[in-house]
């Protein structure tokens, strides 16, 4: 292991321990966080902040999520009533959350509305040898109907209201983790029971908005 990889591994372990102290208890999630060299998902000027527990800008008006939130949302997915195997992610962004999911679930489908971000994320997945991911450039509000139903859906931008299309793409017993709101946002955990959807508010959050449409 070269010095750079050794430093990343030590930093990843330290970040995982910090998240454990913040209340993340799932060992698989913590290990997935520890495994990922977060600096690879950031602009050069911000790489020195890679292992801080904070959201950071990645360009295009987007951010890489705070590691605690990445871990918390992933942990909630793993607690779904059905055992999730195929996951839909709305908002690929840098691909950091995608890389965490790819270590824990059999198949990850990820939709990103900004083509440049999707291209960069795809390249990072290849560099990290994560090949169980399918990516699509498209409108996150619409989900990915041709690959539905999904055992779980995770949304990494805040929707102004609950997206009906995403609810309908959930499997029976499936779970949707999504921030909802404008100025005040709450993280919702929604579980499907037949035609009924049980929603629980987890905690306050702050995300960039889930914008409809897709751009080149």
Active site residues: 65
Q: Which residues contact 97 (CB under 8 A, 6 or more apart)?
A: 65, 70, 73, 74, 89, 154, 156
Structure tokens that stand for 95 in this block: 């691909």
Contact between 210 and 199 (Cβ < 8 Å): no
Helix (H, G, I), strand (E, B) or coil at 70: helix
Contact 121, 134 (CB under 8 A): no
Q: Angle between the 27-35 and 3-21 helix axes, to the nearest 10 degrees?
A: 150
Give the helix/strand (H/E) hosting 181: strand 170-181
């Amino acid at each position: 292991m070269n010095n750079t990889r050794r430093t990343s591994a030590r930093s990843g372990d330290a970040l995982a321990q910090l998240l454990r102290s913040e209340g993340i208890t799932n060992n698989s999630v913590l290990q997935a966080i520890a495994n990922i060299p977060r600096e690879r998902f950031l602009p050069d000027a911000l790489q020195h902040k890679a292992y801080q527990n904070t959201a950071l800008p990645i360009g295009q008006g987007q951010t890489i999520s705070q590691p605690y939130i990445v871990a918390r949302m992933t942990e909630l997915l793993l607690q779904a009533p059905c055992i999730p195997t195929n996951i839909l992610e709305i908002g690929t962004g840098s691909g950091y959350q995608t890389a965490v999911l790819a270590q824990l679930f059999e198949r990850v489908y990820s939709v990103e509305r900004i083509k440049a971000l999707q291209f960069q994320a795809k390249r990072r997945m290849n560099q990290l040898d994560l090949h169980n991911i399918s990516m699509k450039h498209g409108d996150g509000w619409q989900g990915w109907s041709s690959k539905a139903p999904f055992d779980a859906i995770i949304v990494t931008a805040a929707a102004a209201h609950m997206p009906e299309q995403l609810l309908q793409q959930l499997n029976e017993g499936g779970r949707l983790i999504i921030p909802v709101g404008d100025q005040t946002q709450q993280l919702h955990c929604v579980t499907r029971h037949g035609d009924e959807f049980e929603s629980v508010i987890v905690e306050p959050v702050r995300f960039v908005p889930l914008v409809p449409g897709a751009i080149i």
